[in-house]
Amino acid sequence: MHLLQVQNGKTVRVIKINGGQGMVHKLHQLGLLPGDYARVLRHAPLGGPVMVEVGGRSIALGRGVASRIEVVDDGLEPI
């Protein structure tokens, strides 16, 4: 499952990021790494970005980015 397929309000765990160096670098900067929990806040209309909350910070991720972030719903919540 990737981030685009997650419904609003759900918390999922990031397992893998299938992006190039530039994308992984930027995500590292904003503190979104494999192992982190991300809560999907909303999907923008017209095929726009996805807004997620990670580590208390809200981040907008374009569709191209979000589709490359593999996640699982392990039923756990971040502490």
Partner 1 sequence: MRFALVGQPNCGKSTLFNQVAGYRAETGNFSGTTITYTSSKVRVLGEIVEVVDLPGTYALAGTNPAEREVLCYLLSNPVDVIINVLDASHLSQGLNLTLELLELGLPVVVAANMMDEAARLGITLDGVKLQVILGVDVLPLIASKGRGVRNLFKTALEAAASGKVPIRAQYSLDIETEIHRLAENLDGQSATIGPDSMAIKLLEGETTLFRRIEKQVPEINTLIQDSRNEIETKRGRPAIFALSAERHGLAAQYAKQVVHQGERRVSKRDQLDRIFLHPFWGYVALVAILWVFFQSVYHFGSIFEGPILAYADDLTRLLVAHIGQGTLLAEILTGVMQGISGGVAIVLPYLLPFLFGLGFLEDIGYLPRLAFMMDALMNRMGLHGKAIVPFILGYGCNVPAVMSTRLMEDRRDRFLAATLATLVPCAARLAVVFGLVAFYLGPQIALLIYLFNLLVIAATGRFLSHILPESAPGLILEMPVYRLPVLKTVLHKMWFRAREFIVEAWPLLIAGSVVLALFSWLELDHVINLISRPLTWLLGLPSEVGVPLMFGILRKELSLVMLRQALHVADFATALSPVQMISFTVFVVFYVPCLATLAALKRELGGRAMLAIALLTVLIAVGAALIARGVAMLFL
- Chain residues in the site for partner 1 (CB under 8 A): 19-31, 33, 35, 41-42, 44-49, 51, 55-65, 68, 79
Closest distance to partner 1 from the beta carbon of 47 (Å): 5
19-52 as b/e: b if 16+ CB within 10 A: beeebbeebeeeebeeebbbbbeebeeeeebbbb
Q: Least CB distance from residue 42 to partner 1, whole Å?
A: 6
Q: Which tokens hold the place of 72?
A: 């699982």
* Residue with smaller CB distance to partner 1, 30 or 72: 30
